[in-house]
Each structure stands twice: as C-alpha cells, then as structure tokens.
C-alpha cells in the first residue's frame, strides 16, 4: 500500500521533536480525525534553519511530516511557502488516494508555522493561494 | 522489512485453510467436477458431496439439512436474510430492528433498505458491547418484520445473549436472524434451542475456503430469493454450486465444532496471557469489549495518544499480522462504529488494536508480541504531540 | 453400469478445472491466505494476486481493470446487472427489454422484477434462435432503462449479433447488458467495439473453478449494489474475496482467450463430424440452432418419437455425459423454453439432446458416440407408441 | 437419482410390445407432457394372462410401464384394479418426487385397459375409487 519511501520516512522519521522557543509553530488536524501535526520552525534571516515535528496519526501522516520538514529546511520562507502537498507526496513517491489528505495537512502545518512567525514579527499573514478544495483527497475528515 | 517469521494474529479477518480441508477439496476441481444438476454418474458424485456437506453444516447448528442453503460467504448470507425477509414481508410491515454494532454486511444492507422505504432501529449497546433484551422488547412495534442481531462481534468479540433475544422475537412471531460469522467454531450453537430463524456463516473464518458460506433458514420462513436463476439449492439460490468450496466448508465446520470446549480452552489460555501482559506492561491502555462474554481468541485494546495504523505498520515490520478493527475497514479513515457505540471517545478509538488468536498460535508468539508491542507504543507516543510523558497530563482525556 | 471410460460431452454445463489453473490456485488456500483488505505484507500478496487477475479479465474483454468486479458466478453477475440497473434507474423508467431465450438467471430475475412493478418485453427469436435488431429498436420506449441480451445461447449455441444490438441500445442511451457466460473463450469479445455496458461471465465454463465469476461494468454506469457490506471491489460488491477462485478465473480466462481461433478450429472440426454423422445416421432428427452462427462446441438435435431423459440414461450407461438442455433444468419436466421459442413443437422438444464438446474430446470420442447413439435411438423408438416404423407415418407431425 | 430397480426395468424393460387383438387397451398421457403409455392386456377367464406396453417417456415412465405390466400379469381383474401407483413405485424401490406422476400414469393405463375390456364385454366401466388428486406428484403436466 505504501511506497518504500513512505515506509522509510515512517520507520526512520527525520526531525522528530520540538524546538524550544521556536520561531513559528503550526498545529493542524484534530484528534477526532485521527491526525494531529505540530510543526516547529526555527527561522533566521528569512531562512528556515531547523524544522521539527510531532505527529499523532497514521503511517502517511508521520511520513508526510518527516518529508515536509526535510523539504523546507534551508529554504527561504517564500520558497517554503511554495512547497505544496503535491510536492510532499511526490517526494514520498506517491501516497494512496485515501491518504493524500496527510500531505495536505503537512502543507497546512508549514503554512501555519510560517504565519505564526510572521504574526509574531508583526507582519501580515500570507493568504493561501488556493485553499485546498481537497479535490484530490478521496475522503478527508473535517473538510 | 525486518522479520522473516510471521506471527498471524488476525484470525477474525480470515484464516488459512487447514490442510485436511484443502485435501478434501482438491478432487472436486479436476476429477469430480460434474455439474450436480446433471443426470449422469459423475454429476451424481458432485451431488452426493454437496449433500454430505449440507448434513455436516446442519449437524453443527442443530438444524435439518434441508434448512441449509449454500452461498458465496457471510456478506451474501446477511444480504439474503435481511433483504429476503424484508421484501417478502413488505405488506406486513416495514420495520427492522438491528444493532449499532453489526458488521457492515448488515448495517449497509439496512441502510439500503432505508432508502427503499423501510424503517430501521439500531439498538444501542452498553460499554461492553452488549445488547439489552429489554431494549429489543421495547423497540418492537406492530410494523416489525425482522430482528437481526449478531451472535458475536467481529471487532470487540462480545457475545450477545442470543437465546434470550431470539425468545423475544419468537414471542412476537418476528423472524430472528443472527450473523454468526464470528461465532461458528467458538460458541456451541443450537438454532432450535436458541430460537434462531436465520443464521449466517462464512467458511473462511473457521479454516475453510474464502468465497463460500451458508444461510440457515428455518423451515416455513417466508423469504424472497436474492440470486434468481436455475433450480439449485431447492430453487432458492441459483448458480452452479461451488462444489469444492462447499466440500471445504463441510469439512471445516465439522473440524471446528468437533471439540469447541477443548479448542477454546487452549486459545483462551494464550489469549488471556497476552491480554493481561499487554495491559500490565503498557500504561494508558484500555480493554474494549466484555471481560468474560467474549470470543476466546479476541483481544481489542485502545492505546491513548497514538493512532492504530501506525501500530500495525510497526508490528508488520516485526512479522506480526494484526488489525485495527474489521479487515474491511482497516484501509478507511473512519473510526470504528463499534467502538463508538460502546461510548469510547473518537480520539481514543483511533488508537485501537485487534489481535485475534487461532490454532497456529503458540506461547512463543505471545512472548514475542509482549516484547515488541510495548516498544512500538513507546516509540509512537514519543513522537505524539498528545503525549506529555508517562504520568503527565494529556489533552485528550 | 457398463462403461468405465467417460466421454464428457457436457462442457456447456461445466468444465473440469485445468491443471495449470488448479496449480495457480493452490497456494492461495494455505499459504497466501491473507485478507486483501488488511494492511500487512501477507495480505498485500493477496491484493496483488487479485489485481493481476483483474488485469487478465480486463485484457480478455478489452476493458479497463477498474471496470471488472468479481462475483460468485454467472447467476450473481446476471442478477446484479439486471436488478442493479433496474433499481438504480427506477425513477427514469420501468421498462426492461430482454429475450425469450435467456438463461433462467436472467429470465427469473426479470420475472421477479415484474412482481416489483417493472414491465419486461421478452423479444422473440427466429427459428435459429436469432434476435432481430429491428425488433429491439421497435421495442424501445421512453421508459426503457435496460436491454439485456445473451451473447450466445447455452442450449442451442446461437450467437447473437451483439455489436449491432449494442449499437441500438447505445443510440438510445440505454445501458446494454449481455450474458456472455457461454461466449467467453469461444468468441472474441471487445466490450468497447461491441457497445457493451455490462457483461456477465463465469469461470467454470472455461476450465476455471466453480463459484466465481465477474461482471464488467462500463465506467460511469449507474448501478445499485446487490451485495452490500465491506469496502471490497471498490465498495460495489462486499464480501471477503475468494482469492483462490479469482486467481483461477484470471488464469483460466488468459488461457481460454490466448488463441480462440486455433481452439475453435479444432473443436469445430470434431463437432462438425459428430453433428453431420448423427444427422446422416439417424432419420427424423433435426438440428436446433443456427447452422453457422453457433458456439464451436455445440450440438443440439431433436429426435422425434422419443424422450430426452431416456436417451441420456442410455448414454450415461455407455459413459457418455450429455444433457437435454441446460444442466439446471435437466431434472425438470418442462420442455425447454429456448426450443419452444424457436418454434419447435412441444412434443418434439421433449426429444432433444445437447452435446457440447471441449478441450478433452478426441476423434475416438466422436467415433464412439456415432456408434452408440443410433442404437440408443433405435431401441427407444422401438418401444415408443409414436413411432410407426422407419418410414411410416407418425402421429406427432 | 434412480434406484437400481428403476434402472434395471429401464434398461431391461419387461413386456415391451403390443398384443394383437388385445382384450383391452389403455392409452394415457400425451406427447405435449412428454409421456405416453399404451398398455395392452390379454384377459382370459377374468385373469390377465399377458400384458405389454409401449411407452414414450423418461426413464421412470419406461420403468413404471415395465413394472406395472409385471405386477398385473396373472392377476384377476379385481386384483389388477387394486394395483395402485404406490405399489408400482414401491416395487421399483421408490421414484424421485418429480417422477411419481409416471407411476400414476401406469396405474391409469392399467385401469383404462381394464375398462376398455369391460366396455367391449358390455359391462359398466369401473369407477376410480379415488381419482388421483396427484397430491403426491410435485408437478404433473395436464393435471
Ligand atoms: C448463459 C448462462 N448464463 C448464466 C449461467 C449461470 O452461471 P453460474 O451457474 O455460474 O451461476 C449459465 C450457466 O449455468 C449460462 O449458461
Ligand atoms: C460478523 C461478520 N459478518 C459478516 C462478515 C462478512 O463475511 P464475508 O467476508 O465472508 O462475506 C464478516 C467478515 O468479514 C464478519 O466478521
């Protein structure tokens, strides 16, 4: 059901943990849906220098968190903002249709963490370009 | 992909076919392949084999052979029983009573009938998954034409008070169906003593082949046909008979019911050691289902702060086959309707694990799971945002 | 009980399972027994096996794999197609068109729907059993929601002009179902080119196992589910999958469709020699069905003045397995509805014999039947009060 | 499906043929039903000295004709009249339910032949004691 890449990121998740005094934190999902992701970003000079996560969820949720934190590390905020759920899923060599919402959650987590940082900086939060219609998710709790 | 040894703990999802059963089936593919409806000798061999299997099933249930109808499995039996009774009695009434914890083969069938104009009452269950006979009695109306209550639950293993529930339906002259797919081989069944009018079973749950089952229909029960066509199964279920499958079902049910008590004692001893070990070793774990009135091989435990699928994936990596609930929903995102019906909060129901033991399991299997599972749970909790340390508070309780 | 050698000439009733097929199936009982809905590796093996079989069936029909749904056989496929379309389109209309010569799995299903308020037109056939496209066109009304016409008839072997009939249904935007249970492996099928929206097939008619079949459902076709429950078969057909059976079906259809023309040429040569031999040797015998548009292995002949069952009994005594019509009515007293639909008088239809050849048959089989059958017919005629000598008058014509 | 006795009488039917100038002939059944039996009796001094048949029909019809002619041979007309379809079926060690009507046909054939004889003798035909309601025949063409 899962690609080898998903299984690798599930079994050896990168960047598990919290960042103390993180520059931005994104908490998404809810326990009723069976998925919660907390994304922690350390941001220096507009660049993400560290990214960590804690996730309650299925294999795809854990792998998506792991991959998303990998993908945004070292990126500028603008670049990180553009990391889409599709990019996360592709980097994982695909997700089953019923699990696509996990990659969406990861994208939302990153966005939320970035905007948390922007708010703390007194900046306008960025607006979702195309708020997820979740077209590509076969079913998705709470959407 | 670590493990090479497989520890199969998902016998409620399906069982392997026992070698005796596979051997009994083999000749009916290539040798005794005649169509039992035909007139010549080789076809009469097929007919005899089916008659023998029918007698085996009848004997296992305390029924008469001509009350047994072979089907393609538990789902077809459930669909046939429920739609067949509903459509045949439409003029009498439109009300069906079932429970909130049935298998989807019953629930989705009832939901379909709701779209066709029937009214369905889904009886609630208590925290252990038990249906109350008083609630059944209270739900019956003038319009009630069918009561369908499962014998034993496939997720939490709870065994319902079938004889008592059946007696209430009988008193009101309402046909009583029970989905006994998980019960056969684990509980001594006597359809007459237990007031059962229709009973569904499926061979692959008791070491028989997949794709074959049976429906017991008490003589005189008014029921429509589900699969129309040729005159097979005394004109009630059309289709060239799956002879090999039927022979396998007969053999498997005979083996499974030969010594239910002996079999259960062995399985229950293993199960209890595993269940108690898990509860002792892992904090924030809670047993679902009834402490005693449960299938001998069933364990269903919720682990707080973590999610079930990720537990399964780790166990699979260690060669342990398990499930979160019923097999057919393990790919789904919805929390178990059974656990919710017992009052378990949604967020905790997501972290449930079902282990179902069978004839292959050994003490070594139990030891291994008791070694592996606590590590898996710890690992997942450590990456869970809900878990604040062993004794710390947490935001879901 | 004379004969020890068996000459099987009833392949349209059912076939033996080919050894390659039985071998392909075997590991899925005892080894790869996992429930394909489960998450662990051994279950994923089952899932892969089912996907592979689905691709084999799709390839054989010119369909996409996700248009193939596995069932328990031809009867279930027919019931599902017809009831599923009827109930899903009830609001659109209540009229169904089928033919007078369908298998009982179609006819009895349509009769059931008539009781549920649907109107059914049973198209007539000509003396050869052919349905007329013009008659179909004329029968279509605003209310028509389904056309179901069999691909090839199981009794007389007539092959219908499916592409043409399908085109008419397509033109009127009415779903077109064909019961191809007898056609698969004998006729090259291409559901797209032939305008087929739904197609039923059954493995045991082409050297696969009994109790497994498939329904092809063209993408976008609105159809109700027949067997509700778990999420198997993309939520359209519930029930734990008959993995071994499905693997067998896949293997069998791949074998059966690998070289249809080569296979047919061999069978047709044997069949023609047997058919012509019988007609030459036995007077007052008449071929039923179409001289050319017929299944390569099918012979159906009526012998005047005698009754079919007594012919079968004598043939059985000589080790020859044959039937009077379809297997499921061979125990019945009613004359064949198919023969009657071709205009054959009832009394003659009672004296009909169906011989259906398959891959096991040889020239020696043909010789033997040509030696035995004339004697049997003579013997029975000699005791028939209807028979007044070889050239004499008779009171039934 | 058939007992050994039925198969024996089917494969080696006793008394096949016609009797020239028979004392009584009974023709029953009809070709539309798939069964016709002609029973021929030779009667001397109120005793059946010969009985023959010709039958168009299934295995059970042929066996029933054979057995019925065997049973009435040597009997007085009164005794022969009392040979019931059940007696024929029992002598055949049973018939499948769908085939019981064949034994009924045999009984009717004998009765008809006896009454044919009685009529030729200027005697009142005997009346069927319990005209067959065919209760015991699961289905029966034309009745
Ligand atoms: C034309 C036709 N349709 C349907 C069926 C039913 O198939 P099954 O017996 O596999 O249910 C048969 C054979 O029995 C058949 O010949
Ligand atoms: C309680 C119960 N009912 C019905 C079924 C359906 O049986 P099958 O999968 O054989 O159709 C199952 C198992 O899947 C079950 O556990």
pLDDT the model gives residue D132: 61
Which pair of tokens denotes residue B318? Answer: 């260690």
Q: Test B333 with A36 for CB contact under 8 angstroms.
A: no
In this structure, how many other beta carbons lie within 10 angstroms of the beta carbon of residue B227?
31
Per-residue confidence (pLDDT) for residue B394, from 0 to 100: 41
Angle (nearest 5°) at CA C90 between C86 and C94: 75
Angle (nearest 5°) at CA B258 between B188 and B128: 30
Mean predicted confidence (pLDDT) in B134-159: 98
Could you tell me if the ipTM is greater than 0.90? Answer: yes
Tokens of D69: 């002619």
* Residue A131 confidence class, pLDDT cut points 50, 70, 90: low
| DSSP letter, residue B329 | G
**B246 in Cβ contact with B70 (< 8 Å):** yes
Q: Is A32 on the interface with B (CB under 8 A)?
A: yes
pLDDT of residue D98: 86
- Report whether B103 contacts B78 (CB < 8 A): yes
Inter-chain CB proximity B312 and C39 less than 8 Å: yes
**Cα–Cα dist C280/C180, whole Å:** 32
Q: Which residues of B touch C315 (CB under 8 A)?
A: 40
- For the Cβ of C239 lying below 6 angstroms from any atom of ligand 2, the answer is yes
CA distance C188 to C205: 15
Ligand 1 atom nearest the C-alpha of B238 is: 11
Distance between alpha carbon C238 and the CA centroid of its chain, in Å? 25
Please tell me the distance in Å from D54's CA to the nearest CA on chain C: 5
Contact of chains B and A by CB distance (3 or more pairs under 8 angstroms): yes
Please give the mean pLDDT across all residues of chain C: 94
Which ranges of chain C have pLDDT less than 50?
Answer: 1, 327-331, 392-397
Tell me how many degrees the CA angle B164-B170-B175 measures, rounded to the nearest 5: 110
| Integer Rg of chain A from CA | 14
Q: What's the distance, Cα to Cα, between the start and end of chain A in Å?
A: 24
Contact B316 C40 (CB under 8 A): yes
Model pLDDT, residue C66: 97
**Distance separating alpha carbons of residues B11 and D5, to the nearest angstrom:** 50
- Active-site residue, from B110, B321, B328, B394: B328
Token pair listed for C190: 């291409």
Closest CB to C309 among D16, D59, D139: D59
Closest CA to B30 of A9, D103, C360: C360
Q: What percent of chain B has pLDDT above 90?
A: 89
Separate counts of helices (H) and strands (E) for chain B: 14, 12
Task: Measure the CA–CA gap between C330 and C349, rounded to whole angstroms.
Answer: 13
Q: Which of C337, A140, C393 is nearest to B334 (CA)?
A: A140
Cβ-based contacts of B335 with chain A (< 8 Å): 34
* Cβ distance of D62 and C383 shorter than 8 Å: yes
Q: Is B350 in the pocket of ligand 2 (CB under 6 A)?
A: no
Pairing of strands B213-217, B68-71: antiparallel
Which residue carries 């209540």 as its tokens? C94
Q: Which residues pair with C184 in a beta bridge?
A: C187
Residue D139 in this model has a pLDDT that exceeds 60: no
Any idea which residues of D carry the catalytic annotation?
33, 102
Compute the distance between CA of residue C227 and CA of residue B215 in angstroms, rounded to an integer.
14
Q: Give the residue-averaged pLDDT of D90-101.
A: 94
Q: How does pLDDT run across B4-32, given as a tens digit for each residue?
A: 789 999 999 999 999 999 999 999 998 88
Question: What are the boundaries of each domain within chain C?
Answer: 7-15+260-382, 19-256
Closest chain D CA to residue C2: D11
A10 has a chain B CB within 8 A of its CB: yes
Give me the catalytic one of A7, A16, A25, A33: A33
Instruction: Classify residue C306 by its DSSP letter.
Output: S
| Tally of CB atoms within 10 A around D123 | 10
Q: Alpha helices, DSSP H only, in chain A?
A: 4-11, 59-72, 77-81, 85-91, 100-120
List chain B residues with CB under 8 Å of C22.
26, 29-30
Long-range contacts, stretch C115-118, CB < 8 angstroms, 24+ apart? C118/C86, C118/C94
D54 chain-C contacts, CB cut-off 8 A: 383-385
Chains that touch C (3 or more CB pairs under 8 A): B, D
DSSP H or E run through C123:
strand C119-123
C388 touching chain D per CB within 8 A: no
D66 in contact with chain C, both atoms CB, cutoff 8 A: no
- Of B225, B185, B182, residue with least CA distance to B200: B182
**pLDDT of B300 above 70:** yes
Whole-number Å distance between alpha carbons of B99 and B69: 25
Tokens of A51: 């990214």
B245 Cβ closer than 6 Å to some ligand 2 atom: no
For C333-353, b/e burial (b = at least 16 CB within 10 A) is: bebbbbbebbebbbbbbbbbb
CB of A139 within 8 Å of any CB in chain B? yes
B-chain residues within 8 Å CB-CB of A37?
A: 385
C150, C154, C358: residue to mutate for ligand 1 pocket, most atoms within 8 A of CB: C154
- pTM: predicted TM-score of the whole model, two decimal places: 0.94
| Interchain contact A104–B (C-beta under 8 A) | no
The bound ligand whose nearest atom lies closest to the alpha carbon of C338 is 1
Residues D34 and B112: their CA atoms lie apart, in Å, by 46
Share of chain B above pLDDT 70, in %: 95
Choose among B150, B108, B142: nearest CA to B125: B150
Q: Enumerate the β-bridge partners of residue D52.
A: D40
Q: Which helix (H) or strand (E) holds C199?
A: strand C198-202
- pLDDT for D142: 36
Please name the residue of chain C whose CA is at the shortest distance from the CA of residue D29: C385
Contacts of C72 in chain B (CB under 8 A): 71-73, 76, 211, 239, 242
Ligand 2 atom nearest B12 alpha carbon: 16
Sheet strands side by side (includes B285-287): B285-287, B298-303, B352-356
β-bridge partners, A36: A29, A56
pLDDT reported for residue B333: 63
> Mean pLDDT throughout A59-79?
97
End-to-end CA distance of chain D: 24
Task: Please provide residue B306's backbone torsions phi and psi, each rounded to the nearest 5 degrees.
Answer: -130, 170
CATH tag, B19-256 = 3.40.640.10
Question: For position C397, what pLDDT does the model report?
Answer: 36
Specify whether the CB–CB gap between B360 and B349 falls below 8 A.
no
B41 confidence band (pLDDT: 50, 70, 90):
confident
Q: Which residues line ligand 1 (CB under 6 A)?
A: B 239-240; C 73-75, 78, 103, 105, 150, 154, 179, 181-182, 202, 204, 213
Q: Are C211 and B212 in contact (CB under 8 A)?
A: yes
Of the ligands numbered here, which is closest to the C-alpha atom of C202?
1
Question: CA-nearest residue of chain C to D36?
Answer: C385
Check B212 against C211: CB less than 8 A apart. Answer: yes
Q: What is the mean pLDDT of chain B?
A: 94
Tens-digit pLDDT profile for residues B80-90: 999 999 999 99
Q: Is the pLDDT of residue A137 over 70?
A: no
B206-251 pLDDT tens trace: 999 999 999 999 999 999 999 999 999 999 999 999 999 999 999 9
Q: What is the CATH number of domain B7-15+260-382?
A: 3.90.1150.10
């Amino acid at each position: 059901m899962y690609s080898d890449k998903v299984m690798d990121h599930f079994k050896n998740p990168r960047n598990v943990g919290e960042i103390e005094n993180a520059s931005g934190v994104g908490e998404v999902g809810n326990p009723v849906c069976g998925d919660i992701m907390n994304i922690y970003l350390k941001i220096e000079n507009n660049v993400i220098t560290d990214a960590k996560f804690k996730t309650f969820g299925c294999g795809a949720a854990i792998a998506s968190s792991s991959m998303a934190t990998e993908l945004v590390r070292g990126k500028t905020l603008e670049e990180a903002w553009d990391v889409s759920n599709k990019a996360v899923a592709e980097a994982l060599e695909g997700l089953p249709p019923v699990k696509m919402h996990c990659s969406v959650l990861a994208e939302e987590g990153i966005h939320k963490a970035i905007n948390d940082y922007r708010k703390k900086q007194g900046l306008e939060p960025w607006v979702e370009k195309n708020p997820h219609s979740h077209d590509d998710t076969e079913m998705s709790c709470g959407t | 992909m670590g493990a090479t040894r497989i520890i199969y703990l998902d016998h409620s999802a399906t069982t392997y076919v026992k070698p005796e059963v596979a051997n009994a089936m083999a000749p009916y593919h290539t040798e005794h392949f005649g169509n039992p409806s035909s007139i010549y000798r080789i076809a009469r061999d097929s007919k005899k084999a089916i008659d023998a299997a029918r007698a085996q099933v009848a004997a296992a249930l305390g029924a008469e052979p001509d009350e047994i109808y072979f089907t393609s499995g538990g789902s077809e039996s459930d669909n046939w029983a429920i739609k067949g009774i509903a459509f045949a009695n439409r003029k009498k009434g439109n009300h069906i009573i079932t429970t909130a914890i049935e298998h989807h083969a019953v629930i989705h069938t009832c939901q379909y009938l709701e779209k066709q104009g029937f009214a369905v009452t889904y009886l609630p269950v208590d925290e252990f998954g038990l249906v109350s006979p008083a609630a059944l009695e209270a739900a019956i109306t003038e319009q009630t034409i069918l009561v369908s209550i499962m014998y034993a639950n496939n997720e939490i293993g709870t065994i319902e008070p079938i004889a008592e529930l059946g007696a209430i339906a009988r008193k009101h002259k309402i046909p009583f169906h029970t989905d006994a797919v998980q019960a056969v081989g684990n509980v001594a069944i006597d359809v007459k003593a237990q007031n059962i009018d229709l009973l569904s079973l499926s061979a692959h749950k008791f070491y028989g082949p997949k794709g074959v089952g049976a429906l017991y229909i008490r003589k005189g029960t008014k029921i429509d046909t589900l699969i129309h066509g040729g005159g097979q199964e005394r004109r009630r279920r059309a289709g060239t008979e799956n002879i090999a499958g039927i022979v396998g079902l007969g053999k498997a049910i005979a083996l499974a019911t030969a010594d239910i008590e002996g079999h259960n004692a062995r399985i229950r001893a293993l199960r209890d050691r595993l269940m108690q070990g898990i509860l002792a070793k892992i904090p924030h774990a809670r047993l679902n289902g009834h402490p005693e009135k449960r299938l001998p091989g069933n364990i269903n435990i919720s682990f707080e702060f973590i999610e079930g699928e990720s537990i399964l994936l780790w166990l699979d990596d260690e060669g342990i086959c398990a499930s979160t609930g019923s097999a057919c929903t393990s790919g789904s995102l919805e929390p178990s309707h059974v656990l919710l019906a017992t009052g378990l909060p949604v967020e905790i129901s997501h972290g449930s694990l079902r282990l179902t033991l069978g004839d292959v399991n050994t003490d070594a299997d139990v030891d291994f799971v008791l070694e592996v599972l606590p590590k898996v749970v710890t690992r997942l909790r450590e990456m869970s945002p809900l878990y604040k340390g062993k004794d710390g508070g947490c935001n879901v309780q």
